[in-house]
Amino acid sequence: MRFDLITLFPEMFAAIRDQGVSGRAHQRGLWSLHAWNPRDFTQDVHRTVDDRPFGGGPGMVMMAEPLAQAVQAVRLSRREAGADEADQPAPVVLLSPAGRTHRQAQARRWAASTGAILVCGRYEGIDQRFIDRYVDLEVSLGDFVLSGGELGAMVLIDSIVRLLPGVLHDAESAEQDSFNPALTGLLDSPHYTRPETWNGTSAPDILLSGHHSRIAAWRRQQSLTLTATRRPDLIEQARRSGDLSVQDESILKAVPPSAGEGE
Ligand code: 9WO
């Protein structure tokens, strides 16, 4: 899998390239990262990538041409490297609050792809003509504004790379994650480790009992209760998908209706 980043701040991506789970997977050659600076695709002596907005207003706007030149260079490079077939070029993705919200199901679909070309905007935004001409897809991570698309791109890549086969040591650890369909889209149960008593509080006895079926039942109950309290929308979704058992429903009957903790 290969990700190409079009960014004015290529150094930022060292964070996911070199650290943690994604860093290890990168080192093992399970994915690659190529950063392209629009500044390197300018023609003027000042290497200008932004200009004042037509119609006035604060800040600056990223110019279309350096971004377009960068996309064309990326496409050529991916073709030459054999990362893409000519008839199936990688999509050009813009990180933007106006995009479709990124979800775990979408991360799974990306994990089965050859990667993407991610465009990271800065300043007040990008000339709309570039977006109209080159961007296949806009992706949002949620209803907030960043100072640039880079952190968004890193979040997106991390969520995808950790799902690649062989990336996680313990094949189980992605299974237990929040939003895993094996857990029917519920939030994960709480975790505890040594010492048994910390700061005057003991870990739940059940987890020290060694009784595997009772531990599994306790975790399911915790998972259902937490989800019902924090994210009742996810309970509704699991119910509609037919993922809740009679036992689950009887656990949920004991959960008081949430008082809008979601906000
Ligand atoms: C900003 C914006 C605000 C409202 C509606 C649409 C919008 N598009 C953009 C945009 O593309 N902004 C560029 C990228 C330039 C300014 C910083 N950018 C950005 C991306 N800020 N916040 C994001 C982002 C990306 C993914 N998920 C949440 C926020």
CATH number at residue 77: 3.40.1280.10
10 annotated active-site: no
Cα 139 to ligand 1 centre (Å): 10
The catalytically annotated residue of 39, 53, 65, 124 is: 124
261 closest CA partner among 237, 235, 226, 236: 226
**Annotated catalytic residue, options 65, 158, 177, 243:** 177
Q: Quickly list DSSP for 30-97.
A: S-EEEEE-GGGG--STT---EEPPTT--SS-EE-HHHHHHHHHHHHHHHHHHTSSBTTBPPPEEEEEE
CATH number of the domain encompassing residue 249: 1.10.1270.20
117 and 188 share a domain? no
Q: How far is the CA of 49 from the centre of ligand 1 (A)?
A: 17
pLDDT at position 170 is: 72
Q: Is residue 169 situated within a structural domain?
A: no
Q: Output the six-digit token pair for 128.
A: 């709309």
Range of the domain at 154: 2-161
Residue ranges for the chain with pLDDT beneath 70:
171-172, 259-263
pLDDT value for 48 = 98
User: Quick one: pLDDT at residue 174?
Assistant: 74
Same domain, 25 and 151: yes
Per-residue confidence (pLDDT) for residue 173, from 0 to 100: 73
Task: Give the model's pLDDT for residue 262.
Answer: 47
State how many domains the chain has.
Answer: 2
Instruction: Kindly state whether residue 166 falls inside one of the protein's structural domains.
Output: no
- Determine the Cα–Cα distance for residues 150 and 95; give it in Å rounded to an integer: 8
Specify the ligand 1 atom closest to the Cα of 122: 15
Whether 18 and 73 share a structural domain = yes
Q: Domain end: 161, 189, 213, which one?
A: 161
> Are residues 102 and 144 part of one domain?
yes
- How many CB atoms lie under 10 A from the CB of residue 10? 18
Q: Two tokens at 260?
A: 């809008």
Same domain, 35 and 142: yes
- Asked whether residue 211 is domain-assigned, the answer is yes
Please report the pLDDT score of residue 45 as a whole number: 98
Question: Could you confirm whether 124 is annotated as catalytic?
Answer: yes
Ligand 1 test: best mutation among 132, 146, 150, most atoms within 8 Å of CB?
146
111 and 204 share a domain?
A: no
Whether 143 and 188 share a structural domain = no
In a domain, 170, yes or no: no
Do 129 and 246 reside in the same domain of the chain? Answer: no
State the closest ligand 1 atom to the C-alpha of 148, by its place in the atom list counted from 1.
17
Measured by CA distance, the residue closest to atom 2 of ligand 1 is 97
pLDDT of residue 136: 98
